[in-house]
Amino acid sequence: MSISHLWSREFLSKRSILWLLFICNALGTIYGYIWYGGQMVDTVNHGYIWQVIFVPDSPTASLFFCLALLLLLYPPKRLGSALFQQFIEALAVVTSVKYGVWAVAIIFAGQAQGDVLAWQDWMLVASHTAMAVEALLFVRLFHYRWTALTGPIAWTLLNDTVDYTYGVFPWLPGELYDDLSAVELFTYLLTLSSGFAAWIFMRYGNSKRL
């Protein structure tokens, strides 16, 4: 078996692989919400409760990916449910790519300015890289079209706006708070880039869609 078989449609679409990835992502999602627990409590205590939904960015992205996997395992049969599936799949790709790349970039940007990386940082680098990669790999199994991307991109831009308007963005390495405006700009640009990547991989990643 060639190594390329590991990212083929045939391999990725196996129910055993889908279930394995679902379990891994579900565990990561739970861990992510625990990781953000302190910031969520702080947001409730010092902000507004509605802002909490915008705090745990990465675990919410992996939650969307878990839902997308479930919809591959149990495909909806009604038109309305199928449209919902497209929305969730597009949301999973846009947010997984965006927050996967964002977290890795922020960790290394902090290191470049003097932050000392601990083992948890390397664990986050590995897990967030996997988030972005798996989302783009599974585009070939997803059903969304370009029209389904507008909602997820708008949602993610709204998330960015709430994050930097109310200060509920993920806590940064201390060295980066002097560069907050640059981080904000990078975040917005990454959202647009992730939406574009989701469209490119949807359009050209699967020959059956051409």
Is residue 39 within 8 Å of 55, Cβ to Cβ? yes
In order along the chain (210 residues), what is the average pLDDT of each group of 10 residues? 68 92 96 95 92 96 97 85 92 97 97 93 96 94 92 97 96 94 98 96 64
First to last CA, the chain: 28
What is the value of pTM for the model shown?
A: 0.92
What are the structural domain ranges in the chain?
3-209
Q: What is the pLDDT of residues 133-168, one digit of tens each?
A: 999 999 999 999 888 999 999 999 999 999 999 999
